[in-house]
Every structure is written in structure tokens, then in C-alpha cells.
Amino acid sequence: MVMISVLVLLGLGLVTATVLAVASRVFHVEEDPRVQAVLEALPGANCGGCGFAGCEGYATAVVTDPAIPANRCCAGGAATSVAVGELTGKVVAEAEPLRSFRRCDKLAGKVVKPYDYKGMPSCAAAAAVAIGGSSTCAYSCLGFGDCVQVCPFDAVEIKDGLAVINPIKCTGCGLCAEACPRNVLELIPARARVMVFCSTQDKLKRVAEVCGVGCIKCGRCVKSCPAKAVTLENERIHINHKLCLSYGPECEEACAASCNRNALRVICRVSLAEAGKQAEATPEESAPVREAAAKEEA
């Protein structure tokens, strides 16, 4: 009886193996060798910044789909885009480099902590259980580091309860911005000149009560911008960086100059020096930003 059972199992195994072998030949799909070549040209970060689950997904798509451009790999930069373009025969369009930016400066605004949060050390958890989290401002950076956990390039760290972005390491993949439950982090062009250091949607009275540099939506920046690049949408000030950069520096950053709350500031522009990868701030950066940078480095 045992022998019969063994023979039956062996027979089933043989039949199954035969069916699988035949199926593998019948349904075999020849992979384009360029897929592997593109995969080897990619940095292998699997960050998802290209819009695909990983490098292999993008490599397959960019080879097989004519609509997928060769410059989608933000982690690899221009050199990778050129390599992918050569392998796929696609024209490489110049892409605007992006970097992550934090729309909050609760330290300068002296935003207080009404209590010590003792729950799960996660921004998502804190945002879910309390309107203000561990801060009186319901729109400020919570500082528990969800963004740090998801960044594959070690470009984010928490200092004094604030997420600090390293513009040299940041590739603009956007994972940190997606992980932020407060939408404090957002992607901006690396060449952006002015940014809003506030994400509040509260009214004037509430903002004035909780933060010394919070945006009160007075509209002076909107009126002063000759490029019409500054707008008030959904109770938040937004900058159309494409319009701002197209207009050029002739406006002398009028929007930032008009803000008496220092919520709009000229931000540091950095160059990626090939030797040493040192960040070099240009002379045009504002005094408040220099002071903030000095405090963060201290």
C-alpha cells in the first residue's frame, strides 16, 4: 500500500514537471536585452521616484513603452539619463532638478509644546490622535522622523524637532513628502529663489497667537510679485516657481521683501561641487536664512 502511494506521488510529480517544462517553452517571452543593460545603468536605489515600484520596473517600461522618457531617474541625475537615452535610442529632454523643502520654521516662530507627547514616535500616529500633535500649531513639522525612515539617500535628519534636508544628498524622489502627514515637505526646483517657510491654513488671529513667523495671509506678497507667481490658494501661499524663475531676479525678490513676518524668504542656492560635494551658498541668500543655517550647523 505504501509503495502504491509512493508511485502515485512520483507519477504526479513527473506529470507536473512535464507540464511546467512544456508551458515554460510555449509561453516563454524573450526579454529585450536592453532591459538588463538599462537596469545596470540605473543606480539601483529602488526609491520609486520615477513613478515605478523599483529600478527593474522603470527599466522594463522605458525600453518597452515609447511614452516613458529616459530622464525619469532622479537618483541618477543627468549622467544616468544620458546613459538610458543612449541605450533606448530616446532623446533626453533636460529635466528640472528637484529637491525637498520644509515649509515650517517653528523654532524661529517660537511655537511652544503644550504637552509632552508620549504615544508612538511617529508623525502619522501623532497627527492622527491629536490636532496639534506635540505643537500648538496644527500645521507644523511634528519632528518624529517618518521622512527620515523612508529616505533611501540619508538626506533627511531631525534636528531640534525639525526635519532638515541635505540639499546635496537629496535627489528629489519625493518619498519624504509622501510620508509627511502634514504636507510640510514638498518638492521644489533646485533653482528656486524664494520659498514660503509656513504651511498653516489658520486664520490671522490664531497664527499670531502660536507662531512669530507664521503666514497671516495678508496678501502683500501676492500684490508685490510682478511675475504673478505668488498666489493664495486654500488658505496657503503658493509660489509658481516656473513663473518666478522665468521672470528672473530683476524683481529683487519683492515678495520676500514685502513680508513683515519673514514667512517668505530668499533661500540658499547650492552648487554640487564635483570635488568634495560641498554646498556653496550664493551671496544673494537672505540674512535670516544664513542665521538659520548657522543655528542648524551649531
Residues 6+ apart with CB under 8 A from 259: 220, 221, 265
**Residue 211 annotated as lining a ligand binding site:** no
**Residue 180 annotated as lining a ligand binding site:** yes
Q: What are phi and psi of 3, to 5 degrees?
A: -60, -40
Look at the block and give the residue holding cell 501623532: 126
**Residue 147 annotated as lining a ligand binding site:** yes
Give, as one character, the DSSP assignment of residue 236.
Answer: E
pLDDT for 36-72, tens place per residue?
A: 999 999 999 898 888 898 999 999 999 999 999 999 9
Query: In degrees, to the nearest 5, what angle opens at C-alpha 184 toward C-alphas 183 and 187?
Result: 85
pTM of the model: 0.73
Cα 118 versus chain centre, distance: 28
What span, in angstroms and rounded, lies between the C-alpha atoms of 279 and 273?
7
Range 108-135 average pLDDT: 81
The C-alpha cell at 183 is 504636507
> Under CATH, which number does the domain 33-88 receive?
1.10.15
Look at the block and give the residue holding cell 510682478: 226
**Residue 50 annotated as lining a ligand binding site:** yes
Q: Side-chain half-sphere of 240: how many Cα atoms within 13 Å?
A: 14
What span, in angstroms and rounded, lies between the C-alpha atoms of 173 and 280?
22
pLDDT for 230-287, tens place per residue?
A: 999 999 999 999 999 999 888 989 999 999 999 999 985 443 333 233 333 333 334 4
pLDDT at 7 over 90: no
Q: With contact defined as beta carbons under 8 Å apart, do 218 and 208 qualify?
A: no
Q: What is the pLDDT of residue 131?
A: 57
Please report, for residues 24, 38, 39, the alpha-carbon distance to residue 28 in angstroms, rounded to integers and kept in the order given.
5, 21, 21
Q: What is the pLDDT of residue 134?
A: 60
**Residue 137 annotated as lining a ligand binding site:** yes
Q: What SS3 state is found at 42?
A: coil
Element containing residue 157 per DSSP (H, E): strand 156-159
What span, in angstroms and rounded, lies between the C-alpha atoms of 203 and 191?
31
Q: What is the pLDDT of residue 14?
A: 85
- What ranges do the domains of the chain cover? 33-88, 98-297
**Residue 151 annotated as lining a ligand binding site:** yes
Q: With contact defined as beta carbons under 8 Å apart, do 164 and 105 qualify?
A: no
**Residue 73 annotated as lining a ligand binding site:** yes
**Residue 259 annotated as lining a ligand binding site:** no
How many CB atoms neighbour CB 223 within 10 A?
11
